[in-house]
Structure 1
Amino acid sequence: MERQNDPETTSMFTFLSDPDPVAVRRILSSPFKRAENHGSLDRICILALSNKARMVVRDYEEPPVWKVKNQIRQFFDAQQIVGAPKPASIYSLAACMYHDGRKEMQKEDVQDWMNWAIYGKRLSGRIIAKMVKRIQARGGMAWIHAAAIKSWLISQKKEEWTVDLDQARVTPAYLCGRLFAVLEAVPYEAVKGNETTASRFYAAASSTPRTIFGLLMRNSKWHLSKISKENKGYEVRYQQRIQLLTGQLKEFPAVLDLQGQAEFALGYYHERQDIYKKKENMPADAANVSDLNKTVVEGE
């Protein structure tokens, strides 16, 4: 049977390279549908080619239209994160793992994200390893990194992760990330310096928490005392957050694996957004609503 072009189906793949926010919101708000009437087009032909010395067919699939549509819906739903100015494309998610995505990005990176977006295949451990390395080198994270990490976590266990701060999640890694965000905010509030705690200690805190959190907790006491002299309300608020989080943590983990480092990063981002969402005088990059291309390509 001759296959006809379906404008709606064809446009689905445009979403992955240059997603329109209005169209994405429409996809996310539409109900899950297994059976849909697409006339003569009930399946999509997906052909992946490589073009070096000669054209080679790398992959060929004919998935049902309804399945691809619902997987694309999941792709955008998984990446939703507080502070995101717009939906992220496959290229943006792959590029944010590097300082300069245009020069460093590999074809396997795009392939991994494409397989997740269209087929729902689990994102590889290579993706999160590169993401963690990039965030540690950067000494912090932007919204695109949080969107990518949340997508990776959901792809691993099909586990639900919230768009913003999850008070009910009490895993040690997530709590450590939240606490680190508070311990970063305290010295900034006290001295209004340009260098943040994250730029100096993020790598150690996210991989070997037990080695660094004792020092950060001790340093915070001096800064809290200074804040108290200028704004008692802020000092009380930070003290309450620290006490809440340390009370939920039985002990600081000695080592966090890649899964734990991903949870740490999301906890850090969620808490940071929650702290600064109502503050006008926030650290640079706290809201992370800078231009997408500058964030994911230049990386700084």
Structure 2
Amino acid sequence: MLLQRLVEYAESSGEVTPPFYARKPVRFLLYIAADGTPANAELVDFADPGTPGQRFGINRWMPNVTRTVGVAPTLAADTVEYVLGWVAEDGGRADRVAKQHTAFQELIRDWAAAEPDGPAPAIAAFYAGGHAPKVVTDRTWSRADVVAFVVDGQIATEHETAKRYWAGVAAGRKGLGRAGYCLVCGQVRDLLKTIPQQIPRRWLPGATQSASLVSVNEASHGYELTKLLAHTPICVTCGLTFMSSLTAVLSDERHSTALPGQNARLAWWLVGGSRFDPMAPLDAPDLDDARALLTTPVDGIDPGDDDLSTFCSVTVGGNVARVVIRDWVEMPLPRVKDHIRSWIDDHKIVDWSGEITQVRLTQLVRAAGRWQVGRGGAPGSWVKLGARGEDRPTGLQHALLRAALLHAPLPPRLLTHVLNRIRTDGRVDPARAALIRLGLRRQALRLDDPESRTAEFERLTPTLNLDNNDPAYLSGRAFAVLDDLQQTVFRAANQPLNTTFAERYMGRAITNPRVVLVNGQRTSTAWLRRLRGPLRKPGWARAYANRLDDIFAQIDTSRHSIPSTAVLAQKAQFVLGFHQQRAAMRAERIEAAAKKKNTDLPPASDDQPTTEGDAE
């Protein structure tokens, strides 16, 4: 089904790939006249390291087949070794290059004899006239740089005679020599012996060589110990099409994504005519189409093409010279849209300003890694993706994408990992809180009772939930109030605070809230006494005391004590309560200052939590 969907995408994309052609970077163009004389003595260099996608030249449709160790020239364009006979200092062998150059010229002469009306005679005359040794370049070049001929202003490989002749040559090299029933298109056509193209290794994380999607190059891999594709019939047209389609989507930033260190690359496409971008709501929530997705159920508007379109995605990796298919998804687009809406509902979270925010998927991956504090007062940051010591789960991006597109639960180990990072780093921010809320809501999917599942969803709100009587959640709220109280006391006394209550006890409070909160209640008595007495802030003291009394009263009302040995869900609830209570107090201060309303809390200060590190 994967191969069929790739062929369908090629047919609907409007870009027809010539047989045995592929997009390749062409660095040099060699201009010649119709009589074979060079237009100038130098190659024209189109490589530009400063331009994205043009580091090795301009991508063009070029003749292409998979080459192994043998000498196998392509038509009218090839490496500098084949076209000009240049021997590179970095590994070039003069005897082999001579054979390559001779084989390239022989192919040109055969082409000129078969197709005398195209550019072939001019290129043959170029070699017959001895012009090849005179071509030079003043640029640094490598043995893999591609040179293409331009005859009378037209790139020779784009001429119809070149496409026609090359199709016959390549089919002879890669064809099985007989026709048969193709497993992909279901028609009787000329079959392939091997897949003629490979995916460049740069699009396959983990691969050390370019690889083919279908390969039977050892007897032990094939049916009845048979090599090649004899028992895996794929016709020439389909084999070329699905390899070109997969390479195209993997190399297109609009249709693929990969993060360093995640060991996988996701490619997606739509079949059926829809122009909707399913990844925009996941990683660019501010775009118009992302906002339109969220408002569609309200407006009652859904484009007709979307109802008939199919979403396809494949997650690939590499193992030496093999393509590893890690995941394959084929789903009606309307269902994918519903899943993305659920994803947004499940992870959106309140930020420090009190607004509900959606976190980019890539930022969720970053937030799962190690946080490093800035030096000398500089802002902190996440350890870079793929860097040593990043401590991010392998395959996290893949797991989050599956959760978003398939409405699947998250691996339990992810929630454990994030909580351990919070305990180690002592950092709770909107991105990490979003991961925790997402993990808790997706755990609720495993509940068999629909009423229990609905109740859990309603309890896990993106903002502070005053009706959530879970003791672990209430413990996190109390912990946030105690931390805020301590900072207020030291700020009012104009005393430096080297380590806050949260920084000192966060790791222990997550696993054993009871010990920390009991100790915090005792310490808070002294803090409140200082506010009432020497600091002359009785109103502030009353505000904090009331909040703590209300929270602890809710714990008593719930008939459950503060957890002493927290399990995974309780740890997550504690962190969620801590974040939402802290954000709510911060938002209350901001609103009071903006609207000049009264609040019993002390005003905000510069040392309040910020979103530093949350930006990409």
Q: Same fold by TM (over 0.5)? A: yes
- The question of whether the paired residues in 1 share the 8 Å contact of 2:472 and 2:570 is answered with yes
Deviations 1:43-93 (A, max 9, x none): 111111112412222221211101111111111222221117853222211
Q: Which amino acid aligns with 2:520?
A: L
Partner of 1:183: 482
SS in 2 for 1:59: strand
Report the Cα distance in structure 1 between the residues aligned to 2:280 and 2:319, rounded to whole angstroms: 25
Matches within 5 A, 1:1-300: 2-3=8-9, 4=12, 6=273, 8-9=275-276, 11-20=277-286, 22-31=288-297, 37-38=304-305, 41-53=308-320, 54-83=322-351, 87-99=358-370, 100-102=383-385, 103=387, 104=390, 105-158=392-445, 159-160=457-458, 161-192=460-491, 193-229=497-533, 230-250=536-556, 251-279=561-589, 280-282=603-605, 284=607, 286=609, 288-293=610-615
Cα offset, 1:209, TM superposition? 1.4
Seen in structure 2, the aligned counterparts of structure 1 residues 40 and 262 have a Cα distance that, compared at 3 Å, is closer
SS in 2 for 1:44: strand
Seen in structure 2, the aligned counterparts of structure 1 residues 212 and 283 have a Cα distance that, compared at 3 Å, is farther
Cα offset, 1:22, TM superposition? 4.8
- The question of whether the paired residues in 1 share the 8 Å contact of 2:307 and 2:333 is answered with no
Cα offset, 1:15, TM superposition? 3.2
Q: Which moved more, 1:78-87 or 1:268-277?
A: 78-87
- The question of whether the paired residues in 2 share the 8 Å contact of 1:178 and 1:271 is answered with yes
Report the Cα distance in structure 2 between the residues aligned to 1:258 and 1:34, rounded to whole angstroms: 41
Report the Cα distance in structure 2 between the residues aligned to 1:21 and 1:221, rounded to whole angstroms: 50
- RMSD value over aligned CA atoms? 2.5
- The question of whether the paired residues in 2 share the 8 Å contact of 1:188 and 1:283 is answered with no
Aligned-pair identity in percent equals 24
SS in 2 for 1:49: strand
Cα offset, 1:24, TM superposition? 3.5
Seen in structure 2, the aligned counterparts of structure 1 residues 115 and 147 have a Cα distance that, compared at 3 Å, is same
Cα offset, 1:7, TM superposition? 5.4
Seen in structure 2, the aligned counterparts of structure 1 residues 106 and 31 have a Cα distance that, compared at 3 Å, is same
- State the structure with more CA Rg: 2
SS in 1 for 2:615: helix
Partner of 2:208: none
Q: Which runs of 5+ in 1 are unaligned?
A: 295-300
TM-score, structure 1 length as denominator? 0.88
Report the Cα distance in structure 1 between the residues aligned to 2:566 and 2:287, rounded to whole angstroms: 35
Q: Which amino acid aligns with 1:60?
A: W
Q: What is the total number of aligned residue pairs between the two structures?
A: 292
Seen in structure 2, the aligned counterparts of structure 1 residues 27 and 83 have a Cα distance that, compared at 3 Å, is same
- The question of whether the paired residues in 1 share the 8 Å contact of 2:306 and 2:334 is answered with no
Seen in structure 2, the aligned counterparts of structure 1 residues 61 and 220 have a Cα distance that, compared at 3 Å, is same
Q: Which runs of 5+ in 2 are unaligned?
A: 13-269, 371-382, 446-456, 492-496, 590-602
Report the Cα distance in structure 1 between the residues aligned to 2:290 and 2:499, rounded to whole angstroms: 37
Seen in structure 2, the aligned counterparts of structure 1 residues 265 and 39 have a Cα distance that, compared at 3 Å, is closer
Q: Which amino acid aligns with 1:167?
A: L
TM-score, structure 2 length as denominator? 0.45
SS in 2 for 1:62: strand
Report the Cα distance in structure 1 between the residues aligned to 2:470 and 2:307, rounded to whole angstroms: 49
Seen in structure 2, the aligned counterparts of structure 1 residues 22 and 282 have a Cα distance that, compared at 3 Å, is farther
Q: Which amino acid aligns with 1:190?
A: V
- The question of whether the paired residues in 2 share the 8 Å contact of 1:78 and 1:150 is answered with yes
Report the Cα distance in structure 1 between the residues aligned to 2:301 and 2:288, rounded to whole angstroms: 23
Q: Which amino acid aligns with 1:94?
A: V
Higher relative contact order (CA 8 A, sep 6+): 1
Cα offset, 1:41, TM superposition? 4.4
Q: Which amino acid aligns with 2:527?
A: H
- The question of whether the paired residues in 2 share the 8 Å contact of 1:24 and 1:76 is answered with no
